[in-house]
Structure 1
């Protein structure tokens, strides 16, 4: 089933369920469905924070991918489930479908909660009234019927003493005080800025600001980082793949002078922690996944036609020049 058809069916399901719905009800059990990637989950965090503010006594159950569970370590009002089948026998007062499937749609119709809110309805409405919005705005709009005067827009990840201590110990051991984080990877190669250009940026940061560069990412990025650092003479820099889990990485971002990277999960985590970011985009839709903090600089070029269908052969990410990224680095680090 295509995404557009699923959105339409989701809209119909919510209309049917909510005929007798009551958004003033004091919900005690809330099911949120967000079977998505890291960056998508991070942009949805305001939903959980607002729900807690509205219904502090309610238990939130989140169905998410296993690697995203860690983001809720310090939020004791949320239970994470990684297999939707674990909740199918349960009843919930409120269901919020932020990224579901046909299965989750049928579940809602069978259980008929007191209210169902869904991303599909919002995306369908926005398609006919101005286009797709920034992901944080879209997620907030899903729960708009519940919101009151004070809305929490921040999607800052909650980190704890353990994460900050791990980062502090690592930095002390390596003799690093001030640093820049870079993420070179992306699942889609059309979203990857060339590593030789990143090497030029790292060399510039080393020489001009005497700062270390920490190259982050998942296991698939380790070789990519090593290849890049082999092009850099300075030994100030480190490939830190494998050193930190996602929550520790969020704590690492909080202390960073700057983040530079492609559109990816690490970018969204850095932006959530209010780290100054220089974001490099290729095929992405304008505005939708842009960081929303006040200290972000976006580099993004567009094709006149079929922009979203870019491949490595014609990706606009290759239009981003080293000189313009260096200029952005200067604006953030204040030469």
Structure 2
């Protein structure tokens, strides 16, 4: 992984070429700077990418043309890799990075992901997560534990989270590693999530998931109806929930709806 924020073009090119990569994959599909000013001069033996324009293909050994918002972002990355290497990887390949990172002995978990780093318009209220978890755990005896994942912006939630839901222990993970998140996703019977970074790991594992979206009146460019194909992985075990209010407020998604969808997911297993 190369972090190039605030780097000049010559500095970035020098850093890349100093490492003599065998394979370089450009995942920044919308970056004209990378496609036209960096990648043509990179000394990697093989270069792969995908983007929305065939014009970008000339800088690569393999380039996948994928229309914007046409498919889930991880599947777009995998399409470029699979096409270049003649493989057939699915998003669940992420499971392999958790080998040796088992988090505990619990097997049947309810996972709550109440984060939303982009702002409050993406965060369903924490009390509704709590109320939903209590109801779902009361109705479903097969769940052994509730995992709750918090990032730096959700630390205040520690003050209101209980130590158990109806006798089911609660385990809070503060800024867990990717390996821990994948290990957790292995054990989930149901995940309830906001549109947040950790939710992508749980989507890619393709386990039962209920995910809430919101955009709010000041973020109309982020309306999920327009971009949901790109940021939500539709499977037979995933449900996206959208606001009922025209304003796009995530708070208009009712607790009853989340509970009903969660119970339905569990009953199908």
What is the TM-score when the length of structure 2 is the normalising length?
A: 0.71
**Is 1:118 equivalent to 2:57 in the alignment?**
no
CA distance in 2, matches of 1:122, 1:144: 19
Aligned to 2:2: 63
From 165, 170, 184, the equivalent of 1:252 is 184
Deviations 1:249-301 (A, max 9, x none): 21122112111110112211122223211111123322211124432122124
Corresponding residue for residue 116 of structure 2: 186
Contact conserved, 1:184 with 1:195, CA < 8 A, in 2?
Answer: yes
Residue in 1 that maps onto 2:202: 270
Match of 2:88 in 1: 151
Give, in angstroms, the shift of residue 105 of structure 1.
Answer: 4.9
Is the aligned partner of 1:202 residue 2:133?
yes
Task: Report the secondary structure of 1:163's partner residue.
Answer: coil
Match of 1:96 among 25, 34, 44: 25
- After TM superposition, the structure 1 stretch with the greater mean CA deviation from structure 2, 116-125 or 137-146, is 116-125
5 Å matches for 1:1-335? Answer: 62-63=1-2, 86-92=15-21, 95-99=24-28, 102=33, 105-111=36-42, 116-121=47-52, 126-127=66-67, 131-143=69-81, 146=84, 148=86, 151-157=88-94, 158-164=96-102, 166-168=103-105, 171=106, 178-187=108-117, 188-210=119-141, 211=143, 212-229=145-162, 234=166, 236-242=168-174, 244-283=176-215, 284=224, 285-301=227-243, 314-334=247-267
* Cα shift at 1:63: 2.7
1:160-203 Cα deviation digits (max 9, x unpaired): 55312x422xx4xxxxx532010111112111111222122012
**Equivalent position of 2:218 in the other structure:** none
TM-score by length of 1: 0.58
Query: Contact 1:91/1:113 (CA < 8 Å) preserved in 2?
Result: yes
Give the Cα–Cα distance (whole angstroms) in 1 for the partners of residues 152 and 193 of structure 2.
17
- List per-residue Cα deviations over 1:30-82 (Å, max 9, x = no partner): xxxxxxxxxxxxxxxxxxxxxxxxxxxxxxxx4369xxxxxxxxxxxxxxxxx
CA distance in 1, matches of 2:44, 2:161: 52
Name the CA shift for 1:163/1:250 in 2 (closer, same or farther; >3 Å).
same
Q: Which runs of 5+ in 2 are unaligned?
A: 5-11, 56-64, 216-223
Cα distance in 2 between the residues matched to 1:134 and 1:243: 25
Q: Give yes or no for contact 1:126–1:132 (8 Å, CA) kept in 2.
A: yes
CA contact (8 A) 1:226 1:239 kept: no
Alignment coverage as a number of residue pairs: 236
In structure 1, list runs of 5 or more residues that go unmatched: 1-61, 66-82, 172-176, 305-313
Greater shift after overlay, 215-224 or 116-125? 116-125
d(CA) in 1 for partners of 2:139, 2:148? 18
Specify whether residues 299 and 122 from structure 1 end up closer, same or farther in structure 2 by C-alpha distance, changes over 3 A only. farther
Q: Which segment drifts farther, 180-189 or 264-273?
A: 264-273
Instruction: List per-residue Cα deviations over 1:8-31 (Å, max 9, x = no partner).
Output: xxxxxxxxxxxxxxxxxxxxxxxx
Asked if the contact 1:135/1:289 (under 8 Å) is kept, the reply is yes
Contact 1:254 1:274 (C-alpha < 8 Å) held by counterparts: no
Give secondary structure in 1 for the equivalent of 2:111. Answer: strand
